[in-house]
Amino acid sequence: IKDSIEIERHLRNSIRDGEVQLHYQPQLDICRRIVGVEALLRWNSKALGSVSPARFIPVAEQAGFILDLGRWALIEACTQWTRWRTLGFLPLQLAVNVSVVELRYPDFASQIKTVIDQTGMDAASLELEITESSMMDNMSEAIREIEKLRAMGVKISIDDFGTGYSSLSYLKMLPVDSVKIDRSFIQDLNESSQSAISLVRAIITLAHGLNLKVVAEGVETEEQMRILTHLKCDSIQGFLFYKPLNVDLVGEILERNALDRNGTRM
Ligand code: C2E
Ligand code: MG
Ligand code: MG
């Protein structure tokens, strides 16, 4: 296991040295059409090799680099989205993960607005994913910033839903557009596990009752897909369809998706 101090030391120059990239994982609707992509950071360190975001994001948060990394990722993803727009790959939602540290930073919403304006991103096509636990602490401040973003048309989604400690009664106070059911719940889904199915059904019913869209992440099997379709989950992300892909590969897939879409319309 790589030492946090080592990670911190090398992460410091990772952007400058061109070691970080974004990969993109397609998100599909229930008819299996691509409706969006989630941008996911990748760090290929010359010194440490490839390091998982699950490992380096917490270090970046601790050390404060996450502000730079998050800003870099948002600019990069929005710029890429505008290229895809030029190529005719739209409509396409762009999901970008946001850390609690960014959310708490003063003027969070206006920082995001600056990037939207500078890159030519369409605010309504941008979705920010914020983890459940981070929304819950310091709620009133988070809500204020989130409302500003939503007034601009930006969508907000609660990531890793079900893993935090949020009281369900808070959910109706959170100004969000969708929830992403955590991978751990999806992993347990199979036709012989009634309790796993009940749990996911309850989450979907609750979310739909609050007018929220539901995304399932970590879908790996056709059986899980069948159950989620039956439960009326709105969109799906997972290795069953696509892994996170580098920008060239995902571009080819988006191109094919756009051709299919236009083809069926004619
Ligand atoms: P997340 O936002 O919940 O992203 C989903 C993670 O699940 C990704 O891991 C993705 O590769 C993985 N995944 C997707 N489908 C499947 C599947 O079918 N099976 C399995 N086993 N895994 C699947 P990844 O890319 O390693 O990212 C881990 C976490 O790091 C992300 O979780 C997110 O919290 C964080 N992260 C990644 N990029 C960024 C970023 O730009 N900013 C911030 N703040 N956090 C990021
Ligand atoms: Mg996410
Ligand atoms: Mg997640």
For 160: left if phi > 0, alpha if psi spans -120 to 50, otherwise beta; the answer is: left
Measured in Å, residue 134 CA sits from the centre of ligand 3 at 13
pLDDT of 1 reads: 60
With a 6 A CB cut-off, is 76 part of the ligand 1 pocket? no
User: What's the pLDDT score for residue 261?
Assistant: 83
- The CA distance from 167 to 237, in Å, is 26
The string of pLDDT tens digits covering residues 70-128 is 999 999 999 999 999 999 999 999 999 999 899 988 899 999 999 999 999 999 999 99
Compute the average pLDDT of residues 133-147: 81
Ligand nearest to the CA of 74: 1
Average pLDDT over residues 1-6: 82
Q: According to the model, what pLDDT value does residue 170 have?
A: 75
User: What does the pLDDT read at residue 167?
Assistant: 64
pLDDT in tens, 149-164: 999 999 999 999 988 7
Rounded to two decimals, the pTM is 0.96
For residue 30, what pLDDT is reported? 94
Distance 157 CA to ligand 2 centre (A): 9
Which atom of ligand 1 is least distant from the CA of 129? 2
Distance 152 CA to ligand 1 centre (A): 26
Task: For residue 40, give the ligand 1 atom closest to its CA.
Answer: 38
For ligand 1, say whether the CB of 175 is within 6 Å of any of its atoms. Answer: no
CA-closest residue to ligand 1 atom 16: 218
**Which burial class, exposed, middle or buried, applies to 86 when counting CB atoms under 10 A from its CB (0-12, 13-18, 19+)?**
exposed
Q: Which of 24, 64, 41, 60 minimizes the C-alpha distance to 257?
A: 24
pLDDT-derived band at 2, boundaries 50, 70, 90: low
Ligand 1 atom, smallest distance to 182 CA:
3
Give the ligand with the smallest distance to the CA of 161: 3
- Alpha carbon distance 201, 7 (integer Å): 40
The residue among 67 and 1 whose pLDDT is bigger is 67
Percent of the chain with pLDDT over 90: 83
Question: Is the minimum distance from the CB of 238 to ligand 1 under 6 angstroms?
Answer: yes
